[in-house]
Chains A and B, each alone.
Chain A
Amino acid sequence: MSLLSVRGLGVHYASRAGKVRAVDGADLEVPAGSILGLVGESGCGKSTFGRALMGVLPDAARIATGEIVFEGRNLLALSARGRRALRWRRMSFVPQTAMNALDPVQRLRAQMLEVLQERGGLGRAPALARAETLFRQVGLDPSRLADYPHQFSGGMRQRASIALALALDPALVIADEPVTALDVIVQRQVLDVMRDLQARLGIAMILITHDMAVVAYACDRVAVMYAGRIVEAGTAAEVLERPQHPYTMGLTHAFPDVHGGTSALVPIDGAPPILIDPHPGCRFAPRCPFAVARCHAETPVLASEGDHTVACFRAGEAPALRAAAAEPATWARS
C-alpha cells in the first residue's frame, strides 16, 4: 500500500478575478521510502499541491475536493488539531528558501530543541544528542549548532532546514524547490544528502522542482504536473525515457545535456492556461502538437498501464509521437 495516496485533490484560491483552481483534480501515489520528483513549470500548482499536503496553505486558499490518504488515514477528515499533530511528526516540509524555515534571531540549537522538546516531548539531554545526530546526518558539523542562520552559507542553511524537517523522524518530507537557488556543486551535495537519507533511513520524499535533470539525478519516481493536474506518473526511468504525455515529451527535450548530444532544444510555444473557469477538454490541448478534436472536448483521465499512469487519449501511440516530439519542427507554430 502507498504511504501517500492523493485522489482528486482540488485547491481553490479566491482572487478578485474569480476562483483560481490552482490544483484541479490531482491524483498521486507515493510508495514508502521512495523519492518522488513532482515536476512542472511555474504556475502549474506544484507548490500549492505540496502545501495542501502539509496543511500549510495561505488563508486565501481552501481545499475544495479530494482526499489525501496518508498512512491509511484521510488527512482532510481530521480536525485542525489532528493535522497539527501530524505535522513535523509524520510529515514535514522544507520550504524553497531556507530562511523561510529558520528563525534568524535564534541559534540553530535553540530551533532544533524547540521542535524536539515541544513537539517531540524529548528531554533536554536526549534532544541535544538527537540534534547533533541530525546535523551529522545532513553533513553539517555539530559544533555549528551554536551559530545563527546568517552565519551559514546558502547550502548549509538548506541542509539545516532539512535537519529540522527530519527532527521527529517523519515518514515523508516534502521539499519545495530545495536546490533551485543553490550553486551547482552545493546543489549536488544537498541532493546527495537526500538520497543518502532515503537509503539509510528509508524516508520518503516529494521533491518539487522544475528541473528535469535534478529529477533524473535524485528521484526514483516522477510525477509531471500541468495546469493543476498530474498528467503523467511512474518510475523515473519510464517517464524520462519513455514519456507518454506530449507535455512530458516536450519537457524532456527542453533541458540541454552537459555531455552534449542535444541536437536542438524544443520550445513549447504558448502559455499555460489561466486557471479561472478552465475550458473543457485537455488543458494542454491548445499547445499540443498532437491534439485532435476529442482533446478539446473531453478531459482525459489518468489511466494506468501497470505502474505508468498518463492522462492522454493518444497514449497508445506514444512511440510514434515520441519520435515526432524530438524534432523542433513539430513544435513550431505558425
Chain B
Amino acid sequence: MSAVIAAEGLEKTFRVQGREVRAVQDVSLSVKAGEAVGIVGESGCGKTTTARLLLRLEEPTAGRITYDGQDITALRGRALLPFRARAQLVFQNPFDALNPRFTIRRALAEPLRNFGIPVAEHDARIEAVMQRVRLTPSAAWLDRHPHELSGGQLQRVVLARALIPGPKLIVADEPVSMLDVSVRAGILNLLRAARDELGLAAIYISHDLALIRYVCERTMVMYLGWIVEDGPTAELIEQPLHPYTRALVAAVPVPRVEQDRAPLPIRGALSDKPLHGVGCAFRDRCPLAFARCEAETPLLRPTTTGRRVACHLGEAA
C-alpha cells in the first residue's frame, strides 16, 4: 500500500533574534492509510514543527513532501486547496481552536464552504459528523458558542470540524493534553473509531509516551530536530536502541507503585545552545558517547528488524 503522506529530507530553520534555530533536520517519514504514527519527544525536539511542515502551514527550508504520490512542496495558496481538504488538524487547546464569535454550526460549515461542497449537502454532513463525535441531539449544540461548552465538548467539535471535509490524513497535536483525565479516554476513543471506520492515516504528536503507546502502532522519537529512532511502538519501548529513547522510556512514571526508580541513563540537561554542525546532537548527554559521535553525524539507518536508528552504536547500542 502506498503512503498517504511522505516526507524526504525535511528541514526547517528559523531565524530568532539573529540566531539560527534548526527546528527540523533531515526528517524522512511516511504514513499509510489506516496507520497511526506517533511522534514523541520533549520540548524543542521539532515534533510540532514537523507536523506543521507536513500540513504545509510552514515552508520547509529544504526537503520534499508528497501527498498520495504528488509533490506538494512547491504548491501555494489556491493550489493547496485540494490537499487541505484531505489533510486536517486537531488542535491542542480546545478553548482556542474555534472562533469565539462563530456558532458551532458556522464553524462546521466553514470547511464545507471553502472546499466547495454544495450547500444542499451541508446540513446532512453536519448532522453526520455530530453523530460521529457523539454530540447529540445536534440541535442542542449547533447554535451555541464556544464559551458555552466544556473542554471535552469543544475538542469533539474540533474533531468534527477536522472530519467534516472527509480527509484522508488527520494530524493530532497533543489532542488531549489540555483536557481533564476523565475526559481523555472519550476523545481518544473517538479518534480511534474514526480512524478505523474511515481508514484514515493518523499522526499523533505528544510528549506523553504512555499515551502514544496506547494509540499508535508505530512511533518516531525526535531530539533537537532529528529523528533518533523509529519503529513499532511496543518494540521501541521495550527494546530501545537509541540511548535517548532508553532514557526517555526510563523517565516515564507508571501508575503502579512498584516501578523502576533507578537513576536515568542520561547526563546533564537540555541546554539552550544546541550543538550545531557535525556530530550527534545527543553526544553531550549520552552516557555511551565516544570519539566518532563528535566527528560524524549519525544517519538514520534501517535495522534488520524493520526499525530505524541514528546512532553510531547502531543495533548494538
Contacts and interface: CB of A to CB of B under 8 A. Distances in A.
| A and B physically associate | yes
Interface of A: 41-42, 153, 155-156, 183-189, 191-192, 195, 210-214, 216-218, 236-237, 240-241, 250-252, 254-260, 262, 264-269, 271, 328
B172 to A, nearest CB: 15
A138 to B, nearest CB: 13
Given A184-B207, A267-B185, A262 B251 contact: no
B248 A255 contact: no
B42 A256 contact: no
Contact of A250 (B182, B237, B266): B182
B186 A217 contact: no
Size class of the B contact interface (CB-based, 8 Å): 35 or more
A42 B184 contact: no
25 contacts: A41-B180, A41-B181, A41-B182, A42-B180, A183-B42, A185-B251, A189-B269, A192-B263, A210-B181, A213-B210, A241-B257, A251-B182, A254-B184, A256-B213, A256-B214, A257-B210, A258-B210, A258-B249, A259-B238, A260-B238, A262-B213, A265-B184, A265-B185, A265-B189, A267-B189
Contacts of A260: 213, 234, 237-238
B209 A265 contact: no
Interface of B: 42-43, 150, 152, 180-186, 188-189, 207-211, 213-214, 234, 237-238, 247-257, 259, 261, 263-264, 266, 269-272
A185 B256 contact: no
A250 B48 CA distance: 31
B210 A256 contact: yes
A242 to B, nearest CB: 11
B21 to A, nearest CB: 16
B255 A240 contact: yes
A251 B181 contact: yes
Contacts of B253: 187-188, 191, 211, 213-214, 216-218
A153 B257 contact: no
A212 B255 contact: yes
B264 A153 contact: no
Listed residue (A183, A191, A241) with the most chain B CB atoms within 10 angstroms of its CB: A183
A254 B182 contact: yes
Nearest to B40: A184
Nearest to B188: A265
Contacts of B250: 188
A186 B269 contact: yes
A12 to B, nearest CB: 23
A153 B210 contact: no
A266 B152 CA distance: 15
A217 B269 contact: no
Contacts of B211: 256
B210 A155 contact: no
Nearest to B41: A183
Contacts of B182: 41, 250-251, 254, 267-268
Contacts of A264: 185
A217 B251 CA distance: 10
Contact of A267 (B183, B237, B270): B183
A213 B181 CA distance: 12
A210 B247 CA distance: 24
Nearest to B45: A183
Contacts of B234: 260
Contacts of B261: 192, 195, 217
Contacts of B263: 192
A314 to B, nearest CB: 20
Given A41-B182, A184-B252, A186-B269, A265 B214 contact: yes
